[in-house]
A and B are shown apart, each in its own frame.
Chain A
Amino acid sequence: MVAMLEKRKIRDFDWLLALLAVLIVGFGTLQIHNAQPTETFWQKQLMGLGIALVAMIAVSFTDYRKLVHIAPAFYIFGLALLVIVLIPGIGMKINGQRCWIKLPALGQFQPSEFVKIPVVLMLAYYFGKPRQGNLTVKETLIGSLILLLPVGLIMLEPDTGQAITYFPLLAVVLFLSSVRMWIVLAALLLCMAGAPLAYTVGVKTGVLRGYKLERINVILDPENADRRGFGYHTWQSIVTVGKGGLTGSQSTDYSQSSLKFLPEPHTDFIFAVTAEHTGFIGCLLLLLAYAILFSRLITGARRSPDRTGMIVIMAVVGGLAFQLFINIGMAVGMLPVIGVPLPLMSAGLSSVLATFIAIGFAISIQLRRFVN
């Protein structure tokens, strides 16, 4: 019985999904090397990939239902981590943000990356039961509470970028929990109409000014914005991406990153480095890989044995897709600079590990699609 199960598990294991994730990380490692050939970030990333693979396989072969069942425990543990990181002496302060915990062997890790998983599990725990009828106000409030506790703690670090990436988790869950379509449409319309309105009113009333205004202006008109001040990052990223052309430039000697024109090339702006070195073709292939990855995950969600599994996978998809769009949108000058890593590409053990664990859940859910 056990042997049969194991055999079936290996047969049903989503090799494509795992392979795709590993390939993207491998490609990312290459770009990290391009970004900082003299640094050891790319070696650390390979180590991180090894650790992450082990974690992913471990999660895959664990029954996700058992894990969701004890979600509140994970959730409370996650909140505890977010509190601990705020304690001076344990939490490391980098660039004014206290968001790292130093570990003796592994180096440092970022709780806000991992806590997304307990949050997803907690949401699945609450919203995963078979449901009747439309989303209620009570459900919405409880969902919001689940989300806002960690988000509030993260804002204390403060790490706005990470905090923002939590919202799509709830948005996707609510969307899939029968929130009325007209509310969704109304919210969308409000956003689309509200943004330009808010900008105009903000400029007119003087609420939006100084560097905040500059960061938005550089998106609207990068060629004429303050390219050396607050628009610097966006402008340099646009130049770096554009410079790549169709096929990219292979030389790393005088690249934008090695001459330090492009800031944070191995983390936040890894996509710009990729664009510089592999050109439009490389970028398109990368986007295609992500498209396949997401499609594969959504397919998994559709086939999941229960509503809980579907919620887990879709929340993961929402979180990753949102991060991807924020990060690349920033790199190509469509969105303001927000410090969010590009999933699977940016250097950083926490990010890779958290993403692989999330994918591990997706695989675990798929493995049990015939078991009921």
Chain B
Amino acid sequence: MKFEDDSQNLRIRLRLIQGLILMMLAVLGIRLYYLQVLNGAHYAEVAENQRIRLLPIPAPRGVIFDRNNNLLVDSRPIYNVILSREDIKNVDLNSLIKPLSDGLQVDEDFLRERFDEIRSQPAFESIRVKENATQSDIAWVEAHELEFPALRVEQQPQRRYPENGMLAHVLGYVGEISPEQLDQPKYKQAGYKPGDIIGQEGLEAVYDQYLRGRDGYRKVIVDSRGHIQSEVERVEPQSGQDLVTTIDLDLQEAAEEQLRSTPSKRGVIIAMDPNNGEIFAMASAPTFDPNLFSQRINTREGRADYLALQRDPRTPLVNRAIQGRYPPGSTWKVPMAVAGLQQGAITIQHSNLLCGGGIQIGNKFTRCMGNHGTPDLKTAITKSCDGYFYRLGLKMTIGGIEQMVDEFDLNKRTGIDLPHEVVSWTPSPAFKARMNPHDPDWRDIDTVYASFGQVYDIITPMAMLRAVAGVGMGGKLYVPHLLREARAVGDPASPDYRPTRAFDRPNPKVIPIPEDQHQLVVQGMWGVVNNGGTAARIKMAGFEIAGKTGTAQVARLGEDVGEHKDHSWFISYAPAFKPEISVLVLVENVGFGATYAAPAARALYDVYYRKTRNEEPPGAQVAMRQ
């Protein structure tokens, strides 16, 4: 040192400073070793994760066709406003509710609900803030990019159903998977994830696995604000399988039209191929617009509409064909006739039973609509003689009726490929005991009721049609169904290939009906239309319809009681001795079966005749119109 100084130990103090600096540098070095060498891989992963984002590309859902390749349901692209979850982890979602609600015209309650839902689902990638965004919504999002960088617009296919609610109950609808569904193993195992649009009702639900495509994705690099910098990888989505249904659009439209024309505008029409169970048409009125669920359910108006549908006393959401239970009235006589012969209560040679204008059991007289003397079976069916069938029922006893119910599968689901099919209620002492605990014993009068399709017989239209069509087929009851095939998609060589899938048709249930007994019953049903029977006015020369009318008592039979008029039934098939098509019509609360149901069925036969015979139907009679 060049200068002398009395400062305490200056040399040492300089050394101390130098030592301190080197020590600090060493500490930094150790810290760097810890971060970079020991934990470098971990931080590299963190950095990777925060810049890589997987963006799903929604796969188009399969299209639904009728049997002749007419389009029933398809999808069109719409735009959704998405809130990217990654970017808003530190943002108080509640603070977004007001500006988003104002800017995008969304219901505040809807946003609040949605944000609450999201909070309980940590795996959510993004939140759909607004569906079906308009051009001005998209412009708003773009204009507020700086303010709300987490917002983006995403394209998504949206389901489009026939506008007038045609076939709504059969097609069903799609909707976002619910948190409850996500908890069910059925959905979990199928690989559904939050936000997925899945089939919620009808064919959409039953064949969701076919209709659903496989979503693709984009692997992108984003910056700290979530803006996409580049695309690393892209996997294209695979669209779902197109569904070809058994529906015939012409018959379906005719069926809907007929129901709309009835006074009550409530009822069911089903047309089915009795040879294999393919459903040509299935209309249930009143109907609803499934687009409500696929397009508008998240809007305030949409939810109000849904609530109105749920509360509507006319139950438009119910598929009456498989979820409605009705007393079948005289249509019940068809299986009764077959079973009576089978069980030997009557024989072909001696099928005559007394009509007597009714029957006296104890102090109660149950009347017939006319006085038919002592008709044979054929006449009893043709004229719909109740007195005959009261006595047939008493001869068969309740045990025989129960056996018949079981044989015709009337106490089981038909197995149709639609969800929520209900089981009919059928007569049995146990059923009475449950229904009427004050008088639980089964009496003869109960057997009388059970034998003409009232009180204890409460059957779904689908089950009734299957039974009657089965009689037409000589005892072959096919499982009704709506799927013809799900078409193949993809390259057969690739592992993603999804082959054509047809309906997995079970063998028909066979009821052993001897040919002569079958002939006798069918002649009776043939007479209903062709031999001066209850539906004689719909006769078609050269296309012989066999059928049975029915008038199901709602309040008191035959009386005009306004709202509670009788249900009008007609169950039929044609041609009578070589069935090609069977048609069931049930119109609620309009009165006699012959007046409304039979002409509506005729309208469907006309359409069928035109399509298959390429000529105007013989003896064309304009169907009942209002």
Q: What residues of chain A have their CB less than 8 Å away from a CB belonging to chain B?
A: 130-134, 172, 175-178, 180-181, 226, 228-229, 238-246, 254, 256, 259-261, 275, 279-280, 283-284, 287, 290-291, 294-295, 298, 301-307, 310, 314, 317-318, 321, 325, 328-329, 332-334, 369, 372
Contact = CB atoms under 8 A, between A and B. Distances in A.
Nearest to A370: B2
Contacts of A318: 17
6 pairs of A and B residues whose beta carbons are closest in the complex? A242-B43, A245-B40, A228-B90, A259-B223, A280-B36, A178-B7
A256 B18 CA distance: 35
B28 interface: yes
Contacts of B33: 280
Contacts of A133: 6
Contacts of A226: 90
B70 interface: no
A244 B3 contact: no
B4 interface: yes
B35 A238 contact: yes
Interface size class of B (residues with CB under 8 A): 35 or more
Question: Of residues B24, B33, B35, which shows the largest number of chain A Cβ atoms within 10 Å of its Cβ?
Answer: B35
B18 A298 contact: yes
B43 A303 contact: no
A239 B41 CA distance: 10
Given A176-B7, A298-B18, A241 B37 contact: no
A259 B43 contact: no
B48 to A, nearest CB: 9
B222 interface: yes
Interface in B222-266: 222-225, 229-230
B46 interface: yes
B25 interface: yes
Interface stretch (B8-16, B75-83, B197-205, B392-400): B8-16
B490 interface: no
Interface of B: 1-8, 10-11, 13-14, 17-18, 21-22, 24-25, 27-29, 31-33, 35-37, 39-44, 46-47, 50-51, 89-90, 221-225, 229-230
A291 B22 contact: yes
A261 B36 contact: no
A130 B43 contact: no
B2 A325 contact: no
Contact of B3 (A130, A132, A241, A254): A130
B17 A325 contact: no
A351 B473 CA distance: 99
B32 A259 contact: no
A242 B7 contact: no
Contacts of A314: 14, 17
Nearest to A132: B6
B25 A290 contact: yes
Contacts of A304: 2-3
Contacts of A294: 18, 21-22
Contacts of A261: 47, 50-51, 223-224
11 contacts: A175-B17, A176-B7, A239-B43, A241-B43, A260-B225, A261-B223, A287-B28, A290-B25, A302-B11, A318-B17, A325-B28
B221 A254 contact: yes
Contacts of B40: 242-246, 280
B44 to A, nearest CB: 5
